[in-house]
Amino acid sequence: MIKKATLLLLLVFIISCSHNDNTDTFEISGQFNHTISDCDNTNNNNNNNEINCVEFIEFIDETSATILINGNDIIEIVNYEINNNEIDIITSSGVNICSFLIQNDTTLKRIGSDDIWIKK
């Protein structure tokens, strides 16, 4: 009986100490911004004042977001999926337009450019 109780306690201890790195349930919300470096959208020196120097993504719910990227002036409504610690941004036609690495609950890192996006 003592061996069974010891084994049961050991099993409970091992299960309670297991570490789960699954971030599929990580909830992300709010708006994250990134300022494009060396961006000049003033009308000086024939620059294009329609370029946005601040990119953003705003997470609306568990699957949809709005995004303004690459200096564009059109905000897109997109879907997103969280896989492990990565967020894939997907257009309505199914094209993955960019991905982010979740650094923490206030910081995202855009994969490919390594730009840091900070929660507003």
Report which of residues 48 and 20 the model is more confident about: 48
Domain, as residue range, for 45: 22-119
In angstroms, the CA 97 to CA 103 distance is 20
The single-letter DSSP state of residue 36 is P
pLDDT at 82: 95
12 domain-assigned: no
Q: What CA–CA distance (Å, rounded) separates 33 from 72?
A: 14
- Domain membership flag for residue 14: no
Which of the pair, 46 or 53, is modelled with greater confidence? 53
Q: Is 92 inside a domain boundary? A: yes
- Give the pLDDT confidence score for residue 23 in this predicted structure: 42
Please give the tally of structural domains in the chain: 1
Q: Which residues, at least 6 apart from 47, have a Cβ–Cβ distance to it below 8 Å?
A: 40, 41
Q: What is the pLDDT of residues 90-117, one digit of tens each?
A: 999 999 999 999 999 999 999 999 999 9
What's the pTM?
0.72
The CATH number of the domain holding residue 92 is 2.40.128
pLDDT in tens, 56-89: 999 999 999 999 998 888 999 999 999 999 999 9
